[in-house]
Amino acid sequence: MANVTVLGATGNQMVAEAFRQAKVDVLPAYPITPQTTMVENFAKYVADGRVHTEYVAVESEHSALSASIGASAAGARVATATAAQGLALMFEELYIASGMRLPIVMANANRALSAPINIHGDHSDVMSCRDCGWIVLFAETAQEAYDQTIISFPIAENPNVLLPVMTTLDGFVTTHAMERCELMDDDTVAAYVGDRVPENALIGGPKAVSHGMFSSLGGPYFKLKKVQREALENSKPYIQAEGDKWAAITGRKFEFVEKWECDDADYIMVIAGSSAGNARVVARELRAEGLKVGIARIRLYRPFPVAELVDILKDAKAVAVLDRSDCFGAQFGPIGLDVASALYSAGAQVPMRNYIYGLGGADVTLDALRQAFTELPQVASGELDQSLNYLGVR
């Protein structure tokens, strides 16, 4: 039986615990707000001899992911963590990690991108990297950040997956706020995650291998990209299987999209990350007032859970898609684009309005969320158009 410790902890603390319990071999990292306490906590485990991990205190995020790639190719279990400008600096390496099919678990403390420089929570950083070939998870709470970080290791390292995983939590709201959390005992986590069993590693294997090959015109580049896309799409059952396995231990369910009162809902809000809690508060009030609203909270963002979302949204009268980042120049924000194309390809004619909210850590007020919900009847009737709106900004 697993032993559970109940504690007050921040998201960053819980991610550091997950890294420790997963017995990460190599953790290259560079400090950046609001990720810092994550790696500080881990550095303390190293200093106290509680882990065997090689903590590589690199000189930049670019080197953090570069070293992670080297360590993963060498056959080690690898984790790193970053945020915002750090993730942006890694951009080149994000594609290389997935293209080389290397399991790496990276926690991202979701934060606004400059300029103006802003250290607070939004999704601009992770969303700018959404198409880099990584599996991307969004946590609402510190508990979920812990759970999703733990399941990320066996997902990434599964020989049928072999992809890097970005496990994300919102800057400050989730990384720094203290919540009631449940920490499983070390042995339970160790038994759950198991050891990485690498194939074709640079060291320790039966023969020498070459990683990071060149493929120009006439080479198999195009073919390898097709295989990569399929690997990401085909990772879904393995992601769900790990979530289920972990749920059997913890009692905490894992779903690609969490449905809250969606079954009979006329109006559904699609949201990801920490603001879902506020959304539920408003939704409860609205339900009491007679408006049948529901919430579809995205936990797995890449590969995008198209079928799951369509199934939830297809019969709604209108949908509000909330985006905590913008795709400048595009019709909608990132989740707005994804939901619109999912609905379109399924032939579902559901009116949708896209709301950009909380950029740069701006307060996500109950009033603002109420506005998004209560506009939906007008969206359904056509009184309000299906456009993109900055929520709460005049």
Per rule CB under 8 A, is residue 92 in the interface with other proteins?
yes
Which of 32, 74, 137, 320 forms a contact with other proteins (CB under 8 A)?
74
Per rule CB under 8 A, is residue 237 in the interface with other proteins?
no
Which of 49, 116, 218, 329 forms a contact with other proteins (CB under 8 A)?
218
Distances (CA, A) of 389 to 16, 104, 320, 324, 353: 37, 36, 11, 12, 8
Per rule CB under 8 A, is residue 394 in the interface with other proteins?
no
Please state, in angstroms and rounded to a whole number, the distance separating the CA atoms of residues 76 and 56: 13
- Taking a C-beta distance cutoff of 8 angstroms, is the pair 139, 174 a contact? yes
Per rule CB under 8 A, is residue 231 in the interface with other proteins?
yes
Q: Which residues pair with 179 in a beta bridge?
A: 9
CB neighbour list of residue 65: distance below 8 Å, 6 or more residues apart: 28, 80, 82, 90, 93, 94, 97, 104, 106
Instruction: Give the footprint of other proteins on residues 8-67 (CB under 8 A).
Output: 23, 25-26, 28, 52-54, 56-60, 62-63, 66-67
Which of 1, 6, 115, 208 forms a contact with other proteins (CB under 8 A)?
208
Say which residue the tokens 């970080």 belong to: 149
Q: Count residues binding other proteins (CB under 8 A).
A: 57
Sign of CA dihedral 278, 283, 288, 294: negative
Least Å from the CB of residue 68 to other proteins:
6
Coil, strand or helix at 356: strand
Per rule CB under 8 A, is residue 211 in the interface with other proteins?
yes
Q: Would you state the structure tokens that stand for residue 100, as one six-digit string? A: 């080389």
Per rule CB under 8 A, is residue 258 in the interface with other proteins?
no
Least Å from the CB of residue 94 to other proteins:
11
Per rule CB under 8 A, is residue 155 in the interface with other proteins?
no
Number of other CB atoms surrounding residue 31 within 10 Å: 18
Site residues (CB under 8 A) for other proteins? Answer: 23, 25-26, 28, 52-54, 56-60, 62-63, 66-76, 78, 92-93, 96, 99-102, 162, 195, 200, 202-204, 207-216, 218-220, 223-224, 226-227, 231
